[in-house]
Structure 1
Amino acid sequence: MTYGFDLDARLEQRDARNLRRHLEVAESVSARTRFADDPKGGPPAFGDEMVVFASNNYLGLADDGRVQRAAELGARTVGTGAGASRLVTGDTRVHRALERDLAACKGTERALVFSSGYAANIGTIDALAPDVVFSDELNHASIIDGCRVGASETVVYDHCDPEDLRDKMETRAAEADVDEQWLVVTDSVFSMDGDIAPLSPLADAADEYGAWLMVDEAHATGLFGDGGGGVVQHKGLSDRVDVQLGTLSKALASQGGYIAGDEALVEYLLNAARSFVFSTGLSPSSAATAREALRIARETDRATELWDTVATLRDGLETMGYEVLGETQILPVVVGDRGDALELAERLRDHGVVAPAIRPPTVPEGTSRIRVAPMATHSADDIAQCLDAFQSAGAAVGVL
């Protein structure tokens, strides 16, 4: 009898299911870079430069000089790390400045910054401790894990279907205690399908039953409408969403997550969200980086440049005959067969284009796809190279 862990067997099982993943070293975070296979303990050996359509760095700010200077200034003036939980000594003026700007952007009284978007989701749901969470079936893993940790019961409603949500709420209400606390949770932009949640009808359903609505703007912050907000602001719903949540690690080119809401929400979470209370505060350089990136998103036309690139790519891919899902900066190119998607991704790399294959169990069987994620900093030549690669690789694989 043994009581240890046979990790080699677990890895073999992943290999057998074609689900084992490997690290790949990038030379830089930019529209074009070189990659190296996982060097384990050795130095990386980089190959040829490739154009990257596989990053959430949507505004291309991760290597922007203004943002880099802000990171350096934050480290030099405050310190490289927060040094402690923010409830001890890790709450700095840089954190507070970022939170003021986030609150202004999101149209709320206050904001609170966490060490990651994952920590924000888990900590918030756990601290609210709802009796029932009504969760979209395609919500991010951090929402799912938050429900596992913090909800007494989780009811999953059909993707982007307010009527199914309302039906499930009606069914639950028939057997609920009068003093239950309900939370409806949804992403605003879904990362695998590139679609947008119908927030206004979801808010209507939540209002009908007196539930709270929580919206994760991870893939929307800084990209939609004027003022650097997300879908919530674009749709004019700031006053109808009780908890706005997002990340600093995508369009804002930094690290961390945030929640935005009223004074009572922030005060409660900074006392009760375990992932906030028991974590070292976000590094001052990360906070300063996110603040400068948010300023650029709010005050420049960088997002417009991204949407122009998105439109060009979508039109080009659809003209070739590809089915492209969604309505956002995430362009899921449907292939169907798992093997075809993996081969297409490899052949795209042969043409110098990095765009990942997404296959089950991440997406349903028969819907394997290539996920194309452009940046505002992709040039006309980058876009042309991407489209040419899809044309040649698609023909070679037999999906065109």
Structure 2
Amino acid sequence: MYGDTYHGTGSNAEADRDNKRGFDLSVRLAEREQQTLKRNLTPVDQVAACSHMAPDPKGLPPEYGDENQLVFAANNYLGLTVDKRVQQAAATAAREIGTGAGASRLVTGDTQIHRALERDIAETKNTERSLVFSSGYVTNVGVLSALNPDVIISDELNHASIIDGCRLTNAETLVYDHCDPESLHVTLEQRAREGNSDESWLIVTDSVFSMDGDIAPLRKICTIVEEFDAWLMVDEAHATGLYEDGGGIVQHEGLSDRIHIQMGTLSKAFASQGGYVAGSEDLIEYLLNAARSFVFSTGLAPPAAAAAREALSIARSGDRSAQLWRNVEWLRDGLEEMGYEVWGETQILPVIIGNREDTMALDDRLREQNVVAPGMRPPTVPEGTSRIRVAPMASHTNEDIDRCLTAFRKAGRDLDLL
């Protein structure tokens, strides 16, 4: 029993505990600090294009600074977290249904707002049905572990939730070169020669990659997957809501009928919380029975479901995505004209610096000018590709974009990067 494992008190108790089979976390933290990998929480006063920020208060209340920070670091791409329509939808659901689901969806946590959201997602993604989970992370983990294929073939830069999902299966996981259809084809050919003809294969890729801002060649991948009679799962977390009719890259390229599993999140463009999977009737029925992260989790909170549904409606009918792409083009052009190297082809703008020390110095100089655009360094990104990840929102004004560019120009010159 837990209560019987330790009976010491006071300083001697601390010494005894250090000699037990425990964890010296102070050493681990010191190691992370030495490797410049230790992170701190940074409270904000609101989730928006501009926010007051506070240094990490640990267990105390945050103390916010006087100046507004321009946030180019969030995935709130359409800027809908503070939209009154989205807030009202959440408030109405809280009042009429409740603040929480109260139980697993399979018990009593399944409400009309969950079902309405799932119908809207399925319509947007051009599938028979969809299923909403409590986060995007547990969606990937749940889908992969429930399907438990014999072999998973994964893009080398797929999200951590896909990697962890692979680890929870009994599958042999093969990795192909990033966004390289030829590498994928070679990998599948080799497996076909060496493996069992009865194996189940699942190819998994992000559609938009969160660090490089590039897009998977989905049409070519579909053709290869079909050649080998396998299944394809596409993670649309950073694409959902930004393209035609609120869809993602899959819809933008007209590939809904060629992809077996479409996954995405509600916490980015849809300004809420949660994840979803969309596909066939059989897929959804199987997952709601077999995905442990769905079966054994309390259902998504009704206000979150309502907020996501309203955000999806706005994305489908409004001009938010058009404004986002205007801001993206303006920022990219401005940064490149200064001499910065900007990767990607989406709303994620990785400004490549290369050296990790220079990158973090640029991060600091931008913050001094009240612009928050985070530095990304190894192991998050490959060695030699440290970068500032710039993520504009549709809600950034022309003045905001100009201020961001001015900050990059001054910081770059001060650090001899331009």
The two structures share one fold, judged by TM-score above 0.5:
yes
For 2:186, the aligned partner's letter is: D
Once residues 164 and 64 of structure 2 are traced to their aligned partners in structure 1, the CA distance between those partners, rounded to angstroms, is 36
CA distance in 2, matches of 1:105, 1:21: 37
Offset of residue 152 of structure 1: 1.5
Equivalent of residue 112 in structure 1, options 131, 156, 160: 131
Deviation string 1:72-91 (CA, Å, 9 cap, x unpaired) is 01111111000000000000
Residue 376 of structure 1 pairs with residue 389 of structure 2: no
SS at match of 1:344: helix
1:95 to 101, 114, 117: 114
Q: For 1:177, give the aligned amino acid.
A: N
Contact 1:133–1:151 under 8 Å retained in 2 = no
2:367 corresponds to which residue? 349
C-alpha deviations, 1:139-195, integer Å up to 9, x for none? 000000000112420000000001100101010111211210000000000000000
- Which position in structure 1 is the counterpart of 2:6? none
Give the match for residue 7 of structure 2: none
Indicate yes or no: 2:219 matched with 1:189: no
Letter in 2 for 1:110: R
Residue range with higher mean Cα deviation, 314-323 or 146-155: 146-155
Secondary structure of the 1:185 match is strand
**Equivalent residue, structure 2, for 1:227:** 245
Matches within 5 A, 1:1-400: 2-47=20-65, 48-224=67-243, 226-400=244-418
Indicate the SS of the match to 1:269: helix
Q: How far did residue 2 of structure 1 move?
A: 3.1
For residues 174-229 of structure 1, the C-alpha deviation after alignment (integer angstroms, 9 at most, x for no partner) is 121121000000000000000000001111111111110000000000002x2100
Q: Alignment identity in percent? A: 64
Q: Is residue 359–residue 369 contact of structure 1 (8 Å, CA) maintained in 2?
A: yes
Give the Cα–Cα distance (whole angstroms) in 2 for the partners of residues 168 and 33 of structure 1: 47
CA distance in 2, matches of 1:57, 1:228: 15
Per the alignment, in what secondary structure is the counterpart of residue 76 of structure 1?
A: helix
How many residue pairs get aligned? The number is 399
Distance 1:254 1:151 in 2: 33
Letter in 2 for 1:136: D
CA displacement, residues 245-275 of structure 1 (integer Å, 9 cap, x when unaligned): 0000000000000000000000000000000
1:133 is displaced (CA, Å) by 0.4
CA distance in 1, matches of 2:263, 2:344: 21
Q: Give distance in 2, aligned partners of 1:213 and 1:117.
A: 18
SS in 1 for 2:43: strand
Q: Secondary structure at the match of 1:363?
A: coil
Cα distance in 2 for residues equivalent to 1:42 and 1:278:
33
| Contact kept in structure 2, 1:129 and 1:152, CA below 8 Å | yes
- Residue 16 (structure 2) aligns with: none
Inter-CA distance 196–151: structure 2 relative to 1 (3 Å threshold): farther
| Structure 1 residues without counterparts, runs of 5 or longer | none
- TM-score normalised by the chain length of structure 2: 0.95
Secondary structure, aligned partner of 1:25: coil
SS in 2 for 1:112: strand
Structure 2 unpaired stretches of 5+ = 1-18
Distance across 1 between alignment mates of 2:193 and 2:315: 46
CA contact (8 A) 1:125 1:151 kept: no
CA distance in 1, matches of 2:44, 2:69: 10
- 1:24 alignment partner, SS class: coil
Amino acid at match of 1:169: L
C-alpha distance 151-239 of structure 1, shift in aligned 2 (>3 A): farther
Question: How many Å separate the matches in 2 of 1:151 and 1:232?
Answer: 28
**Structural RMSD (CA):** 0.6
Name the TM-score, length of structure 1 as normaliser: 0.99
CA-CA distance at 1:27 after TM superposition: 0.6
Deviation of 1:49 (Å)? 0.8
